[in-house]
Each structure stands twice: as C-alpha cells, then as structure tokens.
Structure 1
Amino acid sequence: MQKARWLDQDCNKCGRQLNSWDARLSKTLAYKYPCCESCIAREYDMSAERLRNRMEDYFGMRPCQGL
C-alpha cells in the first residue's frame, strides 16, 4: 500500500493542503475542484472514518498508509 503524499494544492472549500488520498477521493466522486477528506465527509454528513469505510466497501478504494 502506498503512503500518502502531500500535494501542492489546497482544498477548494477550507484551504487546507491536500494529500494524494484527498485527490483520489475527489476524482472518484467526480468533484470539479478537489476537496479534502473532512470537507467531503461533512458534505455527506458522516465522519472521515465512515467515509473511508464506505469508499472501501463500494469502490474498493483503501486510504493510503498514514491516514
């Protein structure tokens, strides 16, 4: 499993620096502008842990190591 990398991009909603997991998540959910995991989880009214589990169950995506 690969480790999360910090990217030179910021979340479109809160301004936090994005990592590779945030980018994968945004791309999978077809966001036009990338958002961080916590903003995406808040939009779907769930915790980050629950969102990770949902992504693994439905899309087979696992979070990068270190998250």
Structure 2
Amino acid sequence: MLLLVIGVGLNLLQLIEPISRAPAIAESLGTFTSPIRLPPWLNITLALGAALASTERTLRLRYHWLLDGGGH
C-alpha cells in the first residue's frame, strides 16, 4: 500500500507540471512547478511499482480504510 501511495503521489506531482503549461490552463489557472525532480529511471520504477501494487490489491480484493474509505 505504501508503494502505491508514494508512487502515485510523486508521479502525480510531476505530471501536473507539464499539463499546467498548456496555454488554456496556464491562462486560467497559472502554471505549477513541481517541488520534486526525480531521474527518469526512478520515475519508471515508481510507476511500475505502483502498477504492481494496485494489481496486487485488485487481485486480492483487500480493503484498506485510506484507499477504499470513500464508499464506506
């Protein structure tokens, strides 16, 4: 679960930056500069780890209050 939360969180921060530079978004909301800069190999490793962690959670059908609490 920790790998899933960290992987998604860090990659999401870095993904928001280029999206916020699109002209329409930059004009209406401004741009976002990510406080975190990771090397490409670490980004890929985190993304693969998060994908594996989410697959493992899906296959085991485990419940966690932090990740699944929205509907309960």
Query: What's the TM-score, normalizing by structure 2?
Result: 0.23
**Greater share of helix residues, 1 or 2?**
2
**Greater share of strand residues, 1 or 2?**
1
- Does 1 or 2 have the higher relative contact order (CA < 8 Å, sep 6+)? 2
Q: Which has the larger radius of gyration?
A: 2
Query: What's the TM-score, normalizing by structure 1?
Result: 0.23
